């Protein structure tokens, strides 16, 4: 009887999907018996939509604001085209990943392009865009479509691979070096960007033929991206030891999976603690002027079902004074011999932490350390004044007012209670 067979088939598939979801293995959209589409990004982050009669997947994906590049539709075990009608029992696997999420940045093997989640659109829209040329990737870096130190490391790495694949004409090596310089300069403070660029360039230039250069560049970039995820998970496990069940953590900016390839640094520590079964609450500062805290951290944690409360930056002192915060964890863009560079406002939080005796932790991979330099030698990126004059496209200050808009600040190392790395937790006095 085809009806019974169909029910057994879809029932089994739904059970498998449920199991994989529980295990955090995949990110799926599937169509249940009831013709509802369910989207689950991470545990707790499920959304449900009715499937209109005759809907195609293309239409559904538009409605869900999910990108098509990352979607495979399975019917009876075979991929089906996007323009076909949705059927009961169909399963769409968006991406098979280790951490139960889609990566922030990755390489599209078919098109030889760099794919990245456009973070400027979050939380309103989840969209993955493709960069097919070095200028388009540089634009994405400068406009913060891809941002956060480790994600910039991967962007730099894939950027050199992109330069190798998109180069036209002779002298691939010369072209590669030029493109590397342009990518490296796109944002000056996060050291991971130049780390990614230089590591891939160094390996790629060993290639004897143009083909070998391209192959080596891509393999090394992929290695950096994969390593990054592994490193964050290790870092998260070390950091989780610092958090007790029931504690509340304040974080600043976004040092989550969106600032990395996956998992996150500061938010990776929280994620790891939650995975160990600890109940952790998070206070996320909104992080003016570009609101990485409210737009990205709050969204990302909610996707994971982690308890997050949003506050404006000028509420940080009050929440600490009223005893609501047990620990502070932030990320880093660069750690020199004497200071931690991170999103503008981090220093202010560290001063408040000292005053209120709240431990102030920095979570960062070893690739963020720049121990040959000191604070004074680092260039702090200054961004366009319109980031303060406008909010969501609306003028909120006199159009011609002078603006000072540094994107980062430096916190002296002596004010950092511990640095959480993939190698373990470093404590003061820091001896590098």
C-alpha–C-alpha distance, residues 270 and 285, integer Å: 15
Helices within 167-190 (DSSP H only) = 172-185
CA dihedral for 154, 156, 157, 158, sign (positive or negative): positive
* Nearer residue to ligand MRU within complex by CB, 194 or 292: 292
Give DSSP secondary structure letters for 67-99. Answer: -STT-EEEETTEE--TTSBP-TT-EEEEEE-SS
* Nearer residue to ligand MRU within complex by CB, 166 or 342: 342
Which of 253, 272, 280, 284 touches ligand MRU (CB under 6 A)?
253
Catalytic residue among 304, 313, 333, 409: 333
Which of 41, 308, 407, 420 touches ligand MRU (CB under 6 A)?
407
In whole angstroms, the minimum distance from the beta carbon of 151 to ligand MRU comes to 7
Q: What is the DSSP letter of 381?
A: P
* Nearer residue to ligand MRU within complex by CB, 30 or 341: 341
Contact window for ligand MRU (CB under 6 A) among 25-33, 153-161, 173-181, 330-338: 330-338
Which of 113, 179, 194, 292 touches ligand MRU (CB under 6 A)?
292
* Nearer residue to ligand MRU within complex by CB, 198 or 387: 387
* Nearer residue to ligand MRU within complex by CB, 166 or 194: 194
155: nearest Cα among 206, 119, 104, 108: 104
* Nearer residue to ligand MRU within complex by CB, 40 or 257: 257
C-alpha–C-alpha distance, residues 162 and 179, integer Å: 9
Which of 259, 298, 410, 419 touches ligand MRU (CB under 6 A)?
259
Q: What is the DSSP letter of 377?
A: G
In whole angstroms, the minimum distance from the beta carbon of 189 to ligand MRU comes to 8
3-state helix, strand, coil in the chain (%, to 5): 40, 20, 40
Which of 342, 350, 367, 421 touches ligand MRU (CB under 6 A)?
342
In whole angstroms, the minimum distance from the beta carbon of 138 to ligand MRU comes to 15
Which residue of the chain is nearest ligand MRU when measured via CB? 331
What do you get for the CA distance between the two ends of the chain, in Å?
Answer: 71
Which residues, 6 or more positions from 345, have their beta carbon under 8 angstroms from its beta carbon?
A: 252, 253, 285, 287, 288, 313, 409
* Nearer residue to ligand MRU within complex by CB, 183 or 253: 253
- Cβ pair 294, 283 in contact under 8 A: no
> Binders of ligand MRU: how many residues, by CB under 6 A?
18
The torsion angle over the Cα atoms of residues 269, 196, 125 and 58, rounded to 10 degrees, is -120
> Residue 260 interacts with ligand MRU (CB under 6 A)?
yes
> Residue 389 interacts with ligand MRU (CB under 6 A)?
no
Contact window for ligand MRU (CB under 6 A) among 65-73, 251-259, 276-284, 299-307: 251-259
315, HSE (Cβ side, Cα atoms, 13 Å): 16
Contact window for ligand MRU (CB under 6 A) among 24-32, 209-217, 253-261, 271-279: 253-261
> Residue 188 interacts with ligand MRU (CB under 6 A)?
no
In whole angstroms, the minimum distance from the beta carbon of 263 to ligand MRU comes to 10
> Residue 313 interacts with ligand MRU (CB under 6 A)?
no
* Nearer residue to ligand MRU within complex by CB, 61 or 259: 259
C-alpha–C-alpha distance, residues 195 and 192, integer Å: 5
C-alpha–C-alpha distance, residues 389 and 151, integer Å: 28
Catalytic residue status for 307: no
Where in 137-166 is the site for ligand MRU (CB under 6 A)? 144, 147-150
C-alpha–C-alpha distance, residues 29 and 37, integer Å: 7
State whether residue 345 is helix, strand or coil.
Answer: coil
Contact window for ligand MRU (CB under 6 A) among 19-27, 32-40, 305-313, 329-337: 329-337
From the number of C-beta atoms within 10 Å of its C-beta (0-12, 13-18, 19+), residue 324 rates as middle
> Residue 331 interacts with ligand MRU (CB under 6 A)?
yes
> Residue 297 interacts with ligand MRU (CB under 6 A)?
no
Catalytic residues: 333
* Interacting residue ranges for ligand MRU, rule: CB under 6 A: 144, 147-150, 190, 253, 255, 259-260, 265, 292, 331-333, 342-343, 407
């Amino acid at each position: 009887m085809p009806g019974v067979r169909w029910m057994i088939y879809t029932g089994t598939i739904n059970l498998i999907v449920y199991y994989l979801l529980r295990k955090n293995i995949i990110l799926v959209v599937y169509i249940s018996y009831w013709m509802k589409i369910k989207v689950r990004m991470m545990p707790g982050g499920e959304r449900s939509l009715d499937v209109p009669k005759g809907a195609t997947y293309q239409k559904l994906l538009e409605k869900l604001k999910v990108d098509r590049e990352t979607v495979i539709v399975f019917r009876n075990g075979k991929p089906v085209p996007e323009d076909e009608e949705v059927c009961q029992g169909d399963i769409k696997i968006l991406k098979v990943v280790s951490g139960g999420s889609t990566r922030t940045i990755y390489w599209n093997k078919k098109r030889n392009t760099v794919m990245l989640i456009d973070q400027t659109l979050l939380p309103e829209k989840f969209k993955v865009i493709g960069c097919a040329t070095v200028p388009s990737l540089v634009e994405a870096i400068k406009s913060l479509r891809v941002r956060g130190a480790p994600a910039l490391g991967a962007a730099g790495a894939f950027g050199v691979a992109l330069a190798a694949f998109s180069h036209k004409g002779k002298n691939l090596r010369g072209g590669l070096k030029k493109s590397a310089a342009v990518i490296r300069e796109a944002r000056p403070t996060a050291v991971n960007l130049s780390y990614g660029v230089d590591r891939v360039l160094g390996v790629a230039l060993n290639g004897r033929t143009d083909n070998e250069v391209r192959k080596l560049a891509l393999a090394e970039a992929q290695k950096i991206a994969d390593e990054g995820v592994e490193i964050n998970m290790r870092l998260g496990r070390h950091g989780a030891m610092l958090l007790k069940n029931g504690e509340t953590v304040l974080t600043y900016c976004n040092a989550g999976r969106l600032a990395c390839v996956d998992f996150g640094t500061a938010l990776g520590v929280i994620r790891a603690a939650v995975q160990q079964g600890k109940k952790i609450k998070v206070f996320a500062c909104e992080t003016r002027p570009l609101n990485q805290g409210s737009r990205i951290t709050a969204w990302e944690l909610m996707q994971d079902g982690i308890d997050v409360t949003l506050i404006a930056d000028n509420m940080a002192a009050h929440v600490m004074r009223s005893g609501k915060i047990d620990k502070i964890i932030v990320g880093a863009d660069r750690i020199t011999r004497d200071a931690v560079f991170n999103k503008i406002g981090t220093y202010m939080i560290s001063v408040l932490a000292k005053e209120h005796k709240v431990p102030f932790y920095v979570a960062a991979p070893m690739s963020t350390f720049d121990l040959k330099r000191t604070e004074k030698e680092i260039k702090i990126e200054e961004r366009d004044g319109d980031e303060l004059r406008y909010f969501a496209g609306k003028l909120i200050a006199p159009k011609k007012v002078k603006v000072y808009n540094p994107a980062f600040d430096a916190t002296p190392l002596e004010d950092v209670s511990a640095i959480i790395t993939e190698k373990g937790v470093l404590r003061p006095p820091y001896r590098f």
